[in-house]
Chain A
């Protein structure tokens, strides 16, 4: 035997040994373990892996396999997985996506599980957030973490404009913006940042003015209605009066722009807190704060949108009980807190908010208040298209003065009614049955 052959046979032996070991390992797994797959998105998908060992320790029969998918491709991937019947047992869904997956008939109704559960109870969650997961009275997802939009503001700039407290009403919001712009003078700086590629503030202000956004069982647009017009026009005026920048390319980095006083107020969500903390350092450290949204009248805070992500179980899953155990584990206040520490995602369970970790964070106080006044966007699969493609398009046209507010919203309704044609047809079909 030559040296070469000897080396080769040794190598082959080694490979065989590995294959044997692998096979033994596999068969052992299949005998005693139930393995569930979980798809998490972005950084949450990464952070959750650190919670798995604890779960597996508490539930010796269950193994969890986590797969991370990027947020930007998540929806596409999930729907493709659905089409090829490859959905994981349990996955994370942005709570505005729940209606789409219910329309696909791809996720399990969880009422049976929640009615028996000692851990997951409707009362433990913020009402508006829970509501986003309820479609035609049935629950399809369990809130995992929550977010909403509220006001981020620069204390120092508002103080200079004579406001020691953040604006509580629309009138104050407008007034402080005017005064800030006066103080700025001709500089290329603004009072508010209201980018037209973020549809949420437009919907929020429309809803605050009393609009339902859609009408007739969510089958027709109601954007040109008086209420939505009022809120929409209020915001567009900030662009028209140069209180907010129209273009969006000036701001490559929102946090840097906030630190450089390019704008003093911004309506956004909790995902920004960490980055703002990082950029607002040195003598800027205590110069910013969060506040609940201003409202049209002064007796309450303004409503905002119920955001966040939910946990859902695939209808085709063969391990629904194991998957539910994992959901219960993730819904424990202690797990929720740990997850907040890992991923900075705000707990959906109210009792978790009593922990000093959250109580002592000054930026979170406003969020806690705001979460009690959140409402879902219309719970139909077409909503994403309406918001992202149409509302942003017409907000931009109105902000740039290419269309008047009334023209923009009339066209908006026309487009929305075309999108909803299928929905009307399906509703008719159901009624006929």
Chain B
């Protein structure tokens, strides 16, 4: 037995080494840095870095910009994660239906935004959102709604980012949902039909429970991904107007790689890590309880 364990570790060693060198060491280094005021002065002379204890974390606590960023990120995750999952699920169910023709064509179409580079997408959406010539406002005006300055108005900038990123990302989850749906045995639906179940009942009592593991996976992956919101606001609004789209990762990036306040930036990273971990634990707990 012992021999087996040793040889197992022997075979695992290369992978473990790589993980240790490229993952654990940087994480530990970052954790240590988060207790210092490592900055541009320290890059040339480590002696200029001071150990500051929990100062960075305390400063974060009193930093209004950090709270704004955290709030924005939560706003984004809470609205767009469920929204994106619902859109993905709806699209998956529709594409899985026997009535739909040209399935692969639609699947391809819905998946294209996922693989398109964000820069190209952002340029197109900037035109769509343009307050004067934008397609979205044009459509709204046809229905009689006054035009909205989507990216320029602090109240609408986050919804604009949400709409865009849901559109861009739902295709990925949709593919996973389609795979999940195809794994549900057909006979369950047939049996339900014989019992006289309606379409909604079938959805509620067969599709949803059978999809639970897929939904958990999709939910966690989406949440983790959305907590790391960065590229969309970075390209579309640079965090503005009035910091209404500043996300936590963007704030971390700015502090770390624009202003070189590495210590402070590392502290933000660990707070984000804690937030994501708590979110994942809660989600797993909920799912577990629902299954019991």
Contact = CB atoms under 8 A, between A and B. Distances in A.
A385 B259 contact: yes
Contacts of B240: 197, 248, 396
B37 interface: yes
Interface centre among B48, B150, B153 (most CB of A within 10 A): B48
Interface in B125-173: 126-127, 129-132, 149-153
B152 A422 contact: no
B78 interface: no
A100 B238 CA distance: 23
Contacts of A75: 258
Contacts, number: 68
Contacts of B257: 76
Interface stretch (B39-47, B99-107, B180-188, B193-201): B39-47
A400 B243 CA distance: 13
B242 A402 contact: yes
A384 B257 CA distance: 12
B241 interface: yes
Contacts of A82: 43
A15 B126 CA distance: 50
Given A249-B152, A422-B39, A393 B243 contact: yes
A389 interface: yes
A433 B124 CA distance: 58
B43 A83 contact: yes
Contacts of B254: 389
Contacts of A250: 131-132, 149, 152
B258 to A, nearest CB: 7
Interface residues of A, number: 30
B226 interface: no
Nearest to A245: B152
Contacts of A422: 37, 39, 41, 48
Interface of A is mostly: helix
A252 B45 contact: no
A402 to B, nearest CB: 7
Interface stretch (A54-62, A102-110, A203-211, A303-311): A102-110
Contact of B241 (A100, A389, A396): A396
A197 B240 CA distance: 9
A248 B152 contact: yes
Interface centre among A249, A250, A388 (most CB of B within 10 A): A249
B74 interface: no
Nearest to B130: A252
A247 B242 contact: no
A45 to B, nearest CB: 21
Interface in B25-58: 37, 39-41, 43-45, 48, 50
Interface string B240-259: 11110000000000100111
A52 interface: no
Given A393-B243, A425-B50, 10 more contacts: A79-B40, A79-B43, A82-B43, A104-B43, A105-B44, A106-B44, A249-B149, A252-B126, A385-B258, A385-B259
